[in-house]
Structure 1
């Protein structure tokens, strides 16, 4: 697939309300690569927000590189679904907490949480957790 075609397909993707998908080419750095950015609504998941039920709404994002050279449309959509599932997993790990301290055992923004989750999934790298930010 041409990168321009992939970018257009990504830019037309729809998921949940408030989620937007944008892509940009990344070919100056890597052959046939694009970067997909997903902006999505979330709640402030800081520990101090937990007792009140996470009242603060925020917008956050994740970016993922994709090589599209040998992709079909279906392959690209499957890759986007993997991105979505990664985002949903990341958010779930932020919000899974234990009373009364509201500790988050797998928090993806804490090194201990990253390491626990990686170990449970047979990985040692923490890189997948470093693709998320606040818009």
Structure 2
């Protein structure tokens, strides 16, 4: 697939309300590669928000590269869905907390949470660092 075609397909993606997809050519840095930027609605997941039911809405983002050479439309959509599932997992790990302290055992922004999750899933710590790097 050409990068221009991949960008057009990504830009036309629809997922949940508030999720916006945009892609840009990244082949000047890595051959046949695009960067996908996803803005999505979330809640402020800080510990002090937990007891109130996470009332504060925010918009956050993820950004990641994809090599598109040799991809079909279906391959591209499957790759995007895999990343969407990683984003959803990342968010779930932020919000899973234990009363009364509000401890988040697998929090993806805390080294101990990253290590606990990596030990259970076999994923490396870098998996938690890939989103939000512009």
Figure out how many residues of one structure are paired with residues of the other and give that number. 133
In structure 2, the partner of 1:126 is: 125
Matched, 1:94 2:77: no
1:42-64 per-position Cα deviation (integer Å, ceiling 9, x unaligned): 00000010011101100000111
CA-based RMSD of the aligned residues comes to: 1.2
TM-score by length of 1: 0.95
Distance between the aligned counterparts of 2:17 and 2:101, measured in 1? 32
The unaligned stretches of length 5 or more in structure 1 are none
**SS of the counterpart of 1:10?**
helix
The runs of 4+ residues in structure 1 deviating greater than 3 Å are: none
TM-score by length of 2: 0.96
**SS of the counterpart of 1:70?**
coil
1:53-86 per-position Cα deviation (integer Å, ceiling 9, x unaligned): 1011000001111000010000000001001100
Distance between the aligned counterparts of 1:116 and 1:62, measured in 2? 22
**SS of the counterpart of 2:13?**
coil
The unaligned stretches of length 5 or more in structure 2 are none
